[in-house]
Amino acid sequence: MATLKTIKELGDIRGKKVLLRVDFNVPISKTDGKTITDDGRIRAELPTIKELLAAGASVIIMTHLGRPKPQSAFEVESEFSLAPVAKRLNELLNVSVEFATDTVGEDARNKVEMLKSGQILLLENLRFNQAETSKDALQRAEFAQKLADMADIFVSDGFGVVHRKHTSVYDVAKLLPAVSGKLVQKEVEALSKVMDNPGRPLTVVLGGSKVSDKLGVIVNLLKIADNILVGGGMAYTFLAVLGYEIGTSLLEADQIETVKGYIQQAKERNIKLLLPADVVVAKEFPASETGDAELEGVFVSDAIPADKMGLDIGPETRKQFAQVIENSKTVIWNGPAGVFEKSAYAGGTSAIATALVHAKLKGAFTVIGGGDSAAAVRILDNCETGKPFSEDDFSHISTGGGASLEFLEGIALPGIEVLSE
């Protein structure tokens, strides 16, 4: 991975207008439509914003939120408005944040005109513009020009979107001096450290619902891992390959041959591949909030009753996985070990996170690869202390689910490539 240019390399940026792409795609409460339920992505961006302000620049922040579907070139859908984000950013920074009700329209342009050194303007949701995500390069180029016309410099710091060839990620970087922000730097450094130069043993912990979502990642990690631990829904296709009775657990029949190949490769490459030795089962996928009512106990993984479904790794598996994790020098974790959203099936995921905490204390470099595993450590407690996990419990928690997966697959990310050109 090429080294990325930093803000410092831009030299004196006093008085310059910086267009900053961030990923403030935060969850907003469905109940009141304005409370941000997890502001982790906004907090993760504060160091870059502070650096730009301290250097005397003014900052025009742009991001998307959710998946609006504009029916015309520009259309506001109030449920995806960034107004609550402007308010939260204001509170976190203690600097007043101006908000533009459009992106490259009259309001944005007037407010950019008035913007002075040390001031911040947040543009309305980029995806209110059809052009932002358009497949038509000309349409994107036109929108990119309008964005670029408002600023002197482009800083790319939305790691969660660097795998997308979108206007604000890719095209605009071709029109202005473009560098990466502190978050993109940190993400690329952490993930590169795992992929290029890991301390060994390197343990990969995989989970989540489907094997088919992570084929590329598995192929690439099979080249470098010492240990691979598989939990979550994807484990059942592996168990089925071994000929185990997996009851009604998640099975991807069309992936059987592929998974057979993985097991074979792991054997040939002397990789320790650990699958669940026991699982927590229920009669059906839990509908209740806690899932407790459906919980039907723990079974060894080659004896899951035909009418039961595995929803978490069992206590013996947690012990085995923890032992491998705690004896590793590098750990990369992607995908929960069970249906962690329901407390009855969150124990395995919490045990893995707790083992990562121990590994880090023993000097390992531990990375959580974004998406659901990152969400899990924010809502679950350490299974030994009963207290919530903190950011410092792990060496790095990625802010990008899809982006970090593609990075681990070894795919060139357009938003990163364009900065290295």
Active site members = 41, 210, 371, 402
For ligand AMP, what does the binding mask look like between residues 328 and 357, x meaning CB under 6 A?
Answer: -------xx-xx-x----------------
Give the residue with the Cβ less far from ligand AMP, 52 or 280. Answer: 280
**Residue entry with tokens 């025009």:** 60
Is the distance from CB of 343 to CB of 286 less than 8 angstroms?
no
Residue 44's nearest CA partner among 155, 161, 157, 178 is 157
Give the residue with the Cβ less far from ligand AMP, 208 or 400. Answer: 208
* Least distance to ligand AMP, CB of residue 24, Å: 21
Q: Should residue 210 be labelled a site residue for ligand AMP when binding is judged by CB under 6 A?
A: yes
How far apart CA 279 and CA 225 sit, in angstroms, is 24
Q: Which residues does 386 contact at the CB level (< 8 Å), separation at least 6?
A: none
**Residue entry with tokens 């992570």:** 214
Bridge partner residues of 358 (DSSP): none
Is the distance from CB of 394 to CB of 367 less than 8 angstroms?
yes
Compute CA distances 304 → 100, 228, 297, 298, 395, whole Å: 56, 23, 10, 9, 36
Query: What residue type is assigned to position 363 of the chain?
Result: G
Considering Cα of 238, then 244, then 249, then 255, what sign does the dihedral take?
Answer: positive
Judged by CB under 6 A, the number of residues near ligand AMP is: 16
* Least distance to ligand AMP, CB of residue 229, Å: 14
In the set 158, 232, 400, 415, which binds ligand AMP (CB under 6 A)? 232
How far apart CA 355 and CA 339 sit, in angstroms, is 18
Give the residue with the Cβ less far from ligand AMP, 232 or 247. Answer: 232
Give the residue with the Cβ less far from ligand AMP, 52 or 383. Answer: 383
Give the residue with the Cβ less far from ligand AMP, 247 or 415. Answer: 247
For ligand AMP, what does the binding mask look like between residues 249 and 278, x meaning CB under 6 A?
Answer: -x----------------------------
SS3 (DSSP) at 178: strand
Q: Should residue 291 be labelled a site residue for ligand AMP when binding is judged by CB under 6 A?
A: no
Strands 178-180 and 153-156: parallel
* Least distance to ligand AMP, CB of residue 46, Å: 27
SS3 (DSSP) at 193: helix
Q: Should residue 209 be labelled a site residue for ligand AMP when binding is judged by CB under 6 A?
A: yes
Buried b (16+ CB within 10 A) or exposed e, 359-378: bbeeebbbbbbbbbbbbbbe
* Least distance to ligand AMP, CB of residue 291, Å: 10
Q: Which of the stretches 10-18, 209-217, 260-268, 380-388 binds ligand AMP when contact is defined by CB under 6 A?
A: 209-217
Q: Should residue 68 be labelled a site residue for ligand AMP when binding is judged by CB under 6 A?
A: no
How far apart CA 270 and CA 96 sit, in angstroms, is 57
Give the residue with the Cβ less far from ligand AMP, 233 or 414. Answer: 233
Q: Should residue 310 be labelled a site residue for ligand AMP when binding is judged by CB under 6 A?
A: yes
Q: Should residue 233 be labelled a site residue for ligand AMP when binding is judged by CB under 6 A?
A: yes
In the set 98, 326, 372, 393, which binds ligand AMP (CB under 6 A)? 372
Biggest CA–CA distance in the chain, Å, is 69
* Least distance to ligand AMP, CB of residue 301, Å: 11
Alpha helices in 327-398 (DSSP H): 347-361, 371-379
How far apart CA 369 and CA 382 sit, in angstroms, is 18
Give the residue with the Cβ less far from ligand AMP, 183 or 304. Answer: 304
Give the residue with the Cβ less far from ligand AMP, 139 or 209. Answer: 209
* Least distance to ligand AMP, CB of residue 340, Å: 6
Cis peptide before 286 (omega within 30 of 0): no
Is the distance from CB of 152 to CB of 20 less than 8 angstroms?
no
Q: Which of the stretches 192-200, 204-212, 350-358, 383-391 binds ligand AMP when contact is defined by CB under 6 A?
A: 204-212
- Chain position whose Cβ is nearest to ligand AMP: 208
Q: How far is CA 190 from the centre of its chain?
A: 13
Q: Should residue 296 be labelled a site residue for ligand AMP when binding is judged by CB under 6 A?
A: no
* Least distance to ligand AMP, CB of residue 239, Å: 11
Write out the binding residues for ligand AMP, residues 94-153 only, by CB under 6 A. Answer: none
Residues that bind ligand AMP (CB under 6 A): 208-210, 213, 232-233, 250, 310-311, 335-336, 338-339, 341, 371-372
